[in-house]
Amino acid sequence: MKEPSTPPVTVLLTDLYQLTMVTAYHELGMEQPAVFEFFVRSLPAGRGFLLAAGLRQVLDYLEGLCFEPADLEWLGQTGRFKPDALRRLSAMRFSGDVDAMPEGTVFFANEPVLRVTAPLPEAQLVESRVINLLNLQTTIASKAARCRLAAVDRKLVDFGMRRAHGAEAALLAARACYVAGFDATATVEAGRRFGIPITGTMAHSFIQAHDDETGAFRDFARVHPRGLTILIDTYDTVRAARAVVDLARQGLTVEAVRLDSGDLATLAREVRAVLDAGGCGRTRIVCSGNLDEEAITGLLAAGAPIDSFGVGTRLDVSADAPYLDCVYKLQEYAGRPRRKRSSGKATWPGRKQVFRESDVNGCIAGDVVGLLEEKLPGRALLQPVMRGGRALEHPSLDEIRARTRRELNSLPAACRRIEGPVPLEASISTALRELAARVDREFP
Amino acid sequence: MKEPSTPPVTVLLTDLYQLTMVTAYHELGMEQPAVFEFFVRSLPAGRGFLLAAGLRQVLDYLEGLCFEPADLEWLGQTGRFKPDALRRLSAMRFSGDVDAMPEGTVFFANEPVLRVTAPLPEAQLVESRVINLLNLQTTIASKAARCRLAAVDRKLVDFGMRRAHGAEAALLAARACYVAGFDATATVEAGRRFGIPITGTMAHSFIQAHDDETGAFRDFARVHPRGLTILIDTYDTVRAARAVVDLARQGLTVEAVRLDSGDLATLAREVRAVLDAGGCGRTRIVCSGNLDEEAITGLLAAGAPIDSFGVGTRLDVSADAPYLDCVYKLQEYAGRPRRKRSSGKATWPGRKQVFRESDVNGCIAGDVVGLLEEKLPGRALLQPVMRGGRALEHPSLDEIRARTRRELNSLPAACRRIEGPVPLEASISTALRELAARVDREFP
């Protein structure tokens, strides 16, 4: 299915300094082409790779970028901008080019993921929101991809809306999880917006609002018999599993039971035994409650008979690594490569490409970050995705998911593993090192 | 200034199970009054208190709650809901009562922060978004309050928009920081939306786009002379500070210089010396770059002459504690107290109040969680904020900030301290313990 475009967010969702710089560039006549690249300086501990996500929302943002009359009026009232400056802002659109790794590509530190080439004011203006969008979805997709690897072929559902950081975070986290290989989400609006399958039945409150648990199960089944999942841990999990068996004997089709607390491995085994002995061999077991990729690994290693995992909070905020050390840096202006040399934050100058070589099994053998014009062996990861301010064809979410599957399969074992993963380190090409040295001589 | 209401988010930003439960309640005729309370089960490590924030957005959400025709049409297309169920949804509004701790109140584990009393379907429907809003702002405000305590009287600015989790997170993080006592934000839209002072001047890219650094400073000052802050760490911080002194001698008023990398304590001292020796004693020093409450404490303990801190990523995602173990639980239905007993997740039943006693200095002496109808000593923290679906008078952001100041001053030393804080533990009243035991007997 075709993914719809993202509703626009006001252009004032930016850092004030973008506006002071843009108006300065306009007034100073600094409107030559600039090249900015987005990359991650170093991977968070506990990540052996990152999964690119969020490009679609970036392109939608760039296509829709403009200052509305109300934005300009408010900016005028701040007294910070001259009428001429506001007139220049009112005419601004994004007219540049974007090259990027397609969503669902795995990548590593210091690899440009997205390159913007546009007149300096335009390329500058978009920095804050581009980072905001790519950081969020890449952070969540990378965590979700680890859950996907840990869960092997079990079903995975995003349960995290309530503790995601606000509305947009919840929706884009659901999307990022789906990009990474999740099967469904509990978030209804993400189902509508992105076409992601939605799932969900009852909470503890439904049971508690009834005077007895079995009555609650029966009541729920009467109203929503299709795809019935019954929550069985409100009072006594194993006792509730026996009640489920009784209901099944009375003709109810219970598709699944959900466990949300306690020792999930032990309880899942006990519940499985009760269900199997009671003729409910086809009733699946769904588990949730403080799960993440490590918990899933532990449960499956313990042989817990769990068919499906609902993963929430720790995923939707990427609790162990809630942000990326990601930046969007000027690499070239007016045809001259540029470089920041701030302590601990130096960057590689110029327009770059990532070249990826694979071994005979399709496994990543190594990445090289080189200059765009270099002809190095391997697949070039950054591809054209926008020209002259218009996005080229968007892949569907299904195509992105297929890419993710191929990419996760291409990861070296050290990158893939859940405990103590070791990321691949991209090499820097000789030509790029030479360029950096030359830039240092030019800007002493 | 009066705070404007929050733009509505679709009612479908919820978990699917809320809709399956609500339609079941409608069909089953379970529409008696229900009482749900929002509370935090345990504080994250590294927090000695939490600061309540986000209530305003919750009340705006409840007042605006309704299913639009497009929402119902889409739900109908899922095939999950009968036409009658959709008709019932279309008529739903939130008609209930809300009692809550005012924003800017400090609180601890197991203390109800918000209580919703409404017909069961309404009280149930709002769970996911109520948690989503309170979790986000309370998480960020609690981190920001620690920054406020660490920074003592230094100026604090929120720089975190780019790595906040999406648009709403960025805006509400700016608000939460302001609630907690920050002085300003870099996020322009937060300035427009909430009236928070905005600040910001230049990024490294502005310097890099110029062929020489001093030329960049001069160019910027020409366009934006007012409140001039110059970024001095792009190449060599101390050398750039000398360039600032030269510019000042040529008549430029440099209000502040910003350092964003390196050993900030040492550099701030060196820069201060250069500025003072050069007659720029009134030029302030702003520091940013991977800051949080611990870094601020360290810098001030080292005597670094820093006037103002820009705090970004670690604050806007609350990096060390990016979520709260917060829940919204059914406590009473149809006049009968209810209790969940799931392993490790048991709740205290009934309608509750938090009673806070203070010592002669106004410092919190202890909190007791008791039954609403109990008459216990101390100040009752939950107050009426909505009746019959209409919000009572909202405090202004200034009033909320004044409350925060008083509340932070009332914290015991163990709760306040930055390193190894120890939260206060609320006691549970005898009457509440007795009620819990009685409920356990009634729902065996």
| The pLDDT value given to residue B25 | 98
Chain A positions in Cβ-Cβ contact with residue B128 (cut-off 8 Å): 161-162
Residues of B in contact with A17 (CB under 8 A): 186, 200-203
Residue of A15, A199, A219 lying closest to B28 (CB–CB): A219
Looking at the structure, do residues B94 and B60 belong to the same domain, yes or no?
A: yes
Same domain flag for A184 and A217: yes
In what helix (H) or strand (E) does residue B185 lie, and over which residues does it extend? strand B184-185
Among B345, B350, B367, which Cα is nearest to B412's? B367
Q: How many whole angstroms separate alpha carbon B314 and alpha carbon B321?
A: 10
User: CB-based contacts of A374: which residues, under 8 Å, 6+ apart?
Assistant: A353, A355, A429, A431
The count of structural domains within chain A is 2
- Among A124, A132, A212, whose Cβ lies nearest the Cβ of B205? A124
Give the DSSP letter string of A168-209.
HHHHHHHHHHHHTT--EESBHHHHHHH---B-----HHHHHT
pLDDT at residue B444, as a whole number: 60
* Whole-number pLDDT of residue A125: 98
CA dihedral A338, A339, A340, A341 (to 10 degrees): -140
Any domain includes B6: no
CB < 8 Å to B262, chain A: 342-344
Express each pLDDT in A149-177 by its tens digit: 999 999 999 999 999 999 999 999 999 99
A224 vs B contacts (CB less than 8 Å) = 20, 23-24, 80
Binary contact (B78, A191; C-beta < 8 A): yes
Q: Are residues A193 and A244 in the same domain?
A: yes
Does residue A46 carry a pLDDT above 90? yes
Query: pLDDT tens, A218-265?
Result: 999 999 999 899 999 999 999 999 999 999 999 999 999 999 999 999
Residue A357 pLDDT: 98
Confidence (pLDDT) at B347: 84
CB contact under 8 A, A20 and B205: no
Of A279, A297, A316, the domain-final residue: A316
**What CATH number is attached to the domain comprising A103?**
3.20.140.10
Question: Residue A401: is it exposed, middle or buried by C-beta count within 10 angstroms (0-12/13-18/19+)?
Answer: middle
Query: Is residue A67 a part of any domain in this protein?
Result: yes
Q: Say yes or no: A230 and A360 in one domain.
A: no
Minimum Cα–Cα distance from A168: chain B residue: B166
A chain contacts of residue B443, beta-carbon cutoff 8 Å: 211-212, 235
| C-alpha torsion A190→A195→A199→A201, nearest 10 | 70
* B255-303 residue pLDDT tens: 999 999 999 999 999 999 999 999 999 999 999 999 999 999 999 999 9
Contacts of B132 in chain A (CB under 8 A): 161-164, 166-167, 170
Q: Residue A339's pLDDT is what?
A: 81
Inter-residue contact B372 to B390 (CB < 8 Å): no
Residue A386 shares a structural domain with residue A255: no
- pLDDT tens, position by position, A347-378: 899 999 999 999 999 999 999 999 999 999 99
Residues B294 and B356 in one domain: no
The boundaries of the domain holding residue A430 are 16-140+324-442
Q: Is the pLDDT of residue A8 over 90?
A: no
Residue A8 in domain: no
Does A300 lie in the same domain as A199?
yes
Residue type, B304: A
Which residue in chain A is spatially nearest to B127 when comparing CA positions?
A: A162
Distances (CA, A) of A157 to A144, A175, B42: 10, 12, 26
Best of B133, B165, B288 to disrupt the A interface by mutation (most A CBs within 10 Å)?
A: B165
- Same domain for B307 and B219: yes
Asked if the Cβ–Cβ distance from B166 to A166 is below 8 Å, we say yes
List of chain A residues whose C-beta atoms are within 8 Å of the C-beta of residue B233: 342-343
Contact check, Cβ <8 Å, A16/B165 = no
Provide the whole-model pTM.
0.97
Minimum-distance CB partner of B319 among A159, A323, A345: A323
Smallest Cα distance from A182 to chain B, Å: 16
* CATH number for the domain that contains residue B175: 3.20.20.70
Separation in Å, CA of B187 to nearest CA in chain A: 5
Nearest residue on chain B to A335, alpha-carbon basis = B209
With CA atoms as reference, the chain B residue closest to A322 would be B319
Name A419's Cβ contacts closer than 8 Å, sequence gap at least 6.
A294, A297
Chain A residues with CB under 8 Å of B17 CB are 186, 200-203
Confidence band, pLDDT 50/70/90 cuts, at residue B349: very high
Q: ipTM value of the model?
A: 0.97
Q: How far apart are CA B328 and CA B307, in angstroms?
A: 41
